[in-house]
Amino acid sequence: MIKFLRHSNLGYMLPLDGLLVVMCFYLAYLFRFEFSIPPNELSTFAKTWPYVLVAKMGIFALFHLYRGMWRYTSLEDLVNVMKAVFTSSILIILGVIIIQRFQGHPTYFFILKGFEYPRSIFIIDGCLTFLAIGGLRVIIRLYFTRQSNLMVFPSLRAKNREDNRKRILIIGAGDAGEKAVREIRDNPRLRYSVVAFLDDDSQKIGRSIHNVPVVGDLAGLEKAAKKLNVDEVLIAIPSAASPLMRRILEGCKECGVPFKTLPGMGELIEGKISIKALRDVDYQDLLGRSPVELDEENIRGYLENKRVLVTGPGGSIGSELCRQMVRFNPENLILLDAAEANLYGIEMELKYDVAWERYSAILGSVQDGQLLDKIFGRYQPQVVFHAAAYKHVSMMELNPWQAVHNNIRGSEMIMEKAIRHGVDHFVLVSTDKAVRPHNVMGASKRVAELLLQAYAGNHTRMMAVRFGNVVGSSGSVIPLFRRQIARGGPVTVSHKDVTRFFMTISEACQLILQTGALGADGDIFILEMGTPIKILDMARDLIHLSGKEPGRDIQIEFKGLEPGEKLYEELITEGEGIVPTEHEKIMVLKADGKWNGYGDQGGFRRWLMEGVEDLYKLADQQDGCAIRAKLKELVQEYTPQEMESVF
């Protein structure tokens, strides 16, 4: 109550509202009696207006009409005013009915004597009061908006101020576009002027939102941009699918106009959008296909209330895997990582950001057999996702023994422990670089796939998942390009013709989770990833998205292929047959059944184990040339690079 009474503007609003209540009450009399109030009715008005005033102001206070900041009056506030006015009118009418009913009672108060009221007065009074009380708040909102930004009323804009503002064209005349216009107008520090909308909905063309016209559809983007002298385009279609987004971006680039996009609808909840939240178009918008949505019910079926071990949980893939898995309510997440900082990061995120307490963080290596035995014995995981691996191609070319130790020996170690301790599902995270590999990293991952197929046939269902480059992951080319653009260039591309498959981190992790639900022993899953994307096109797009022009503002330089780098990646190697799964976007690759010419799985396994044992000995000796030669024996499609290691 003290805070209420100390409200700095209450001394103005209470008298104003009180004056409006009395005026509306008097106007209701005027309208009711056609501007000629009989003397007896005027006398009744004089006797009763104080009671009407007290009743209405009391109810207004109960409805918290004096707690808001009137400069931010919204539709919700006006609805609250309507409720307060309606309630007060109903209560007053009920009071009049009761008073008139007891006119002849000997104990009635003297003020009720001769009391007569046309009840229509209160209906008229209610309507007038709502218009007056609500209108006052709207006027205050408009006044402060005008003071902070003259753009609310286009006819009042000063020419010199308009010249200093960027002229914005918004694509998308929907909810997101409407919020953007309001935010731009309400924020005096923003130097933007929204001049028009574009939208493919023909019913919107020719209409306007907050006095901003919808001038045409997307096909007229170039014409509208030139005619309206547009400085920047804002894409306000957060839910746009990739084909539509690519169409919009191609149109913007043809116009030569910088462009940005609003965040997704999840970031617009409750209208809390801010222009500061505008982001550059992320290249995941340009995958050339719609993001894949997988079958969550099947995933839930084998993860819910299960104990799950994740190796490498601090990496890009492992951490997203953990974030997604908590939705399926596992009994416990066992996190094993050799990098202290990464493990601490995902632990803190689960604990404080997701509020997930059912985890066990273990610092250690997948090559430590004794540690693995203790982990499997103590926590008894039922599902294992093996995402721990070295993945940087050039680094593994210089240090091939580390690829053998971590990617091959570590993978075999955890496969063997999973089988020994009765794990139900084992999923190996692989890569498209394992297909006809040109580098040590890809060859080491292919050997890991072969080990998985050699170990298949036990009570543990063992599967692998193979996918392309993950947008925004550690080591991804996009963060590198962004840093180079921020420094003013140049942007370095290895070769003008190099292409890659891309997928989002979310898609990659959904694919990994889905694999456990779909797979059988030895299966290798891949995602239908659309058309591969040229890295040169990606570099140009990112430069455009930064509001700059390739070749003029930011140069692109070709530095040659990195050691072990291929011009293009593949998802399928010779001898693997594609078999459809129950999910239309996921395929499974089956081995040809020849077991590399060894006739059966047993012979194949003996040959493979002898080979990897030789690899381990060579890795202990840090003999890079011999390691490459041995990898070539195990992975016949591997093409080693002629180069020296760090030793």
- pLDDT of 390 above 70: yes
The question of whether 433 is a catalytic residue gets the answer yes
- pLDDT of 32 above 80: yes
- Extract the tokens encoding 531: 């058309």
Please tell me which residue, 477 or 441, carries the higher pLDDT value: 441
| DSSP symbol at 408 | I
- pLDDT of 640 above 80: yes
Q: Which of 56, 204, 260, 433 is catalytic?
A: 433
Task: Label residue 313 by pLDDT band (50, 70, 90).
Answer: very high
Candidates 114, 134, 64, 125; CA nearest to 92 is 125
- pLDDT of 508 above 70: yes
Question: Could you read off the pLDDT of 103-146 as tens digits, one per residue?
Answer: 555 444 444 445 556 667 878 888 888 888 888 877 877 776 66
- pLDDT of 564 above 70: no
- Extract the tokens encoding 465: 């998942």
* Residue 594: φ, ψ to 5°: -90, -10
Mean pLDDT of all residues in 498-504: 75
- pLDDT of 156 above 80: no
| Range in 35-44, 281-290, 375-384, 388-397 the model is least confident about | 281-290
From residue 507, how far is each of 293, 445, 510, 512, 586 by CA, in Å?
8, 20, 5, 9, 11
| Range in 327-336, 447-456, 497-506, 574-583 the model is least confident about | 574-583
- pLDDT of 340 above 90: yes
Residues 183, 276: Cα–Cα separation, whole Å: 10
pTM over cut 0.75? no
Task: Label residue 531 by pLDDT band (50, 70, 90).
Answer: low
Looking at residue 130, its pLDDT comes to 83
- pLDDT of 429 above 50: yes
- Extract the tokens encoding 396: 């593994």
| Range in 148-157, 237-246, 584-593 the model is least confident about | 148-157
Range 35-44 contact pairs with CB under 8 angstroms and sequence separation of 24 or more: 44/115, 44/116, 44/117
Q: What angle do CA 397, 398, 399 make, to 5 degrees?
A: 95
Mean pLDDT of all residues in 11-37: 82
Question: Could you read off the pLDDT of 576-594 as tens digits, one per residue?
Answer: 556 767 766 677 876 555 5
Looking at residue 488, its pLDDT comes to 81
Task: Check if the beta carbon of residue 117 is closer than 8 Å to that of residue 96.
Answer: yes
Looking at residue 587, its pLDDT comes to 78
Candidates 163, 167, 162; CA nearest to 258 is 167
Question: Could you write out the DSSP letters of every residue in 379-404?
Answer: H--SEEEE------HHHHHH-HHHII
Looking at residue 377, its pLDDT comes to 95
Residues 279, 260: Cα–Cα separation, whole Å: 6
The three-class DSSP label of residue 311 is strand
Residues 6+ apart with CB under 8 A from 342: 313, 314, 315, 319
Per mean pLDDT, which of 326-330, 367-371, 482-486 is the most reliable? 367-371
Looking at residue 251, its pLDDT comes to 82
- pLDDT of 527 above 90: no
Per mean pLDDT, which of 39-53, 136-150, 187-201, 327-341 is the most reliable? 327-341
Domains along the sequence of the chain with CATH: 2-148 (no CATH), 158-281 (3.40.50.720), 304-469+511-531+566-634 (3.40.50.720)
- Using a 10 angstrom Cβ sphere, with 0-12 exposed, 13-18 middle and 19 or more buried, the burial of residue 293 is exposed
Percent of the chain with pLDDT over 90: 24
| DSSP symbol at 550 | B
Task: Label residue 484 by pLDDT band (50, 70, 90).
Answer: confident
| Range in 230-244, 326-340, 425-439, 485-499 the model is least confident about | 230-244
Percent of the chain with pLDDT over 70: 75
Residues 467, 393: Cα–Cα separation, whole Å: 16
- Extract the tokens encoding 373: 């035995």
The three-class DSSP label of residue 337 is strand
Residues 241, 65: Cα–Cα separation, whole Å: 43
Mean pLDDT of all residues in 196-209: 87
- pLDDT of 642 above 80: no
Task: Check if the beta carbon of residue 244 is closer than 8 Å to that of residue 225.
Answer: no
Average of per-residue pLDDT values in the chain:
79
- Extract the tokens encoding 578: 């594609």
| Range in 289-293, 329-333, 338-342, 546-550 the model is least confident about | 289-293
| DSSP symbol at 41 | H
Please tell me which residue, 467 or 497, carries the higher pLDDT value: 497
Looking at residue 621, its pLDDT comes to 94
Please tell me which residue, 586 or 616, carries the higher pLDDT value: 616
Task: Check if the beta carbon of residue 252 is closer than 8 Å to that of residue 231.
Answer: no
